[in-house]
Amino acid sequence: MIFLWAFLATAAAVNVEELVGTWTTKSKQVFTGPDFYDPLNDRFFEPNLTGISYSFDGEGHYEEAFYRAIANPTDPSCPSGIMQWQHGTYTVSADGSMVLHPIASDGRQLLSQPCVQDTAFYTRYNNTEKFKGFSVSVDAYNHVQRLDLQQSTGEIMHPMYLAYRPPKMLPTNTLNPIPTSKKKRELSSGLHVVIKEELINPDRWWWFGVLATSLGGAAFFFS
Cβ atoms < 10 Å from Cβ of 171:
11
Which CB atom, from 30 or from 106, has the smaller least distance to ligand NAG?
106
Give the phi and the psi of residue 34 in degrees, each rounded to 5.
-70, -10
What is the C-alpha to C-alpha distance for residues 42 and 177, in angstroms, rounded to an integer?
Answer: 12
Distances (CA, A) of 54 to 20, 78, 124, 148, 149: 10, 27, 19, 11, 10
Min separation Cβ 101 and ligand NAG, Å: 8
Min separation Cβ 104 and ligand NAG, Å: 4
Alpha helices in the chain (DSSP H): 2-13, 180-188, 193-200
Which CB atom, from 33 or from 202, has the smaller least distance to ligand NAG?
202
Min separation Cβ 223 and ligand NAG, Å: 16
For residue 129, the cross-strand partners are: 100
Give me the residues that bind ligand NAG (CB under 6 A), please.
Answer: 104, 126, 128, 202-203
What is the C-alpha to C-alpha distance for residues 80 and 112, in angstroms, rounded to an integer?
Answer: 6
Nearest residue to ligand NAG, scored by beta-carbon proximity:
104
Min separation Cβ 99 and ligand NAG, Å: 10
Min separation Cβ 127 and ligand NAG, Å: 7
Which CB atom, from 199 or from 212, has the smaller least distance to ligand NAG?
199
What is the C-alpha to C-alpha distance for residues 26 and 189, in angstroms, rounded to an integer?
Answer: 48
Cβ atoms < 10 Å from Cβ of 120:
25
